Amino acid sequence: MEPGNQTRILEFLLLGFSQEPELQPFFFGLFLSMYLVTLTGNLLIILATISDAHLHMPMYFFLSNLSFADICISSTAIPKMLRNVQMKRKVISYSGCLTQMSIFFLFAAVEDFLLTVMAYDRYVAICNPLHYMVTMNPRLCVLLVLGSWIISALYALFQNLLVLQLSFCAPFEIPHFFCELNQMVQLACSDTFLIDTVMYFLAGLLGGGPFMGIIFSYSKVVSSIRVISSAQGKYKAFSTCASHLMVVSLFYCTSIGVYISSFSMHNAHASAPASVMYSVLIPMLNPFIYSLRNKDIKRALKKFLSGKP
């Protein structure tokens, strides 16, 4: 059905969390601090893994890529939000909105696939330790990361093409701090049934597929740990997976929670604070989770920060 008040889209208004002027300095300071912590933590992880020869292993190669994806996820939304708050003009162009949405999809999907690749890495390390370096050879590691990027790029491009099929009607107000697909679809005044169906199918495919891969890998890991005779051996094997399991739990629990709540409650405003979890908080927490529980990372960070060769 074609709407009568359809107009040419020039820009969207990002409403953010609150319209109260007195709260804007608080949000600016809060998100600027979180963004700086995210950049610093993830950059340190990347530099530490590059500079320390002891960390030139598949697990840390995947971790450095994960840290890069975390930086890009935060950089997709937060700088624009901070600029809008500072300029007191919460607008984003139509092309900028599509670009922001597709870039966010790209790096979120990359993170999803990397978490799956890291689960496979733990599976090989624990279940087939004698063949680990042969199986997880440099060529396979590069192919796994490259494949994650290619599939994620195609996914982001396809989602962008879906949004281009939508017709929007004034007012072009997004009750969010960045352009998110669910918000864009809710603004559409054209029929969205087919797009909704494809969108949730792809989300289930690209979210459920990697998740099942992680479950399968860890089911094998648990089976292998159970047959280890010594308690110390079991603890050592499990400790190598603990950080990754924490990150996976945070990523999937928050992502699923956001989409289920927004889908069931039909409340566009409710998803904005919840989206902070997977778009801002998780990228900030990931470096702490991996560095605090990993002696090799802590040693490499101390070595890098001290400037010792």
pLDDT average per 10 residues of sequence, the chain (309 residues): 49 76 83 93 91 87 94 90 80 86 91 94 90 92 95 90 80 79 78 80 84 92 85 80 87 74 54 73 88 79 74
pLDDT, tens digit, 9 for 90 and up, residues 149-185: 999 999 999 888 888 888 777 667 777 788 887 778 8
- Check residue 7 and give its pLDDT: 47
Q: What is the pLDDT of residue 175?
A: 78
Residue type, 158: F
For residue range 243-273, what is the model confidence (pLDDT) as tens digits? 888 889 888 887 776 666 555 545 555 566 6
pLDDT at 116: 94
User: What pLDDT sits at residue 5?
Assistant: 42
* pLDDT at site 231: 80
Task: Return the domain boundaries, the chain.
Answer: 11-306
Looking at residue 274, its pLDDT comes to 67
How much is the pLDDT for 6?
Answer: 46
Nearest to 95 by CA among 156, 155, 164: 164
Q: What is the pLDDT of residue 43?
A: 94
In CATH terms, the superfamily for domain 11-306 is Rhodopsin 7-helix transmembrane proteins (1.20.1070.10)
For residue 34, CA distances in Å to 83, 207, 263, 276, 285 come to 15, 26, 28, 11, 10
State residue 1's pLDDT score: 40
For the chain, helix, strand, coil in percent to 5 are 80, 5, 15
CB atoms within 10 A of CB 16: 19
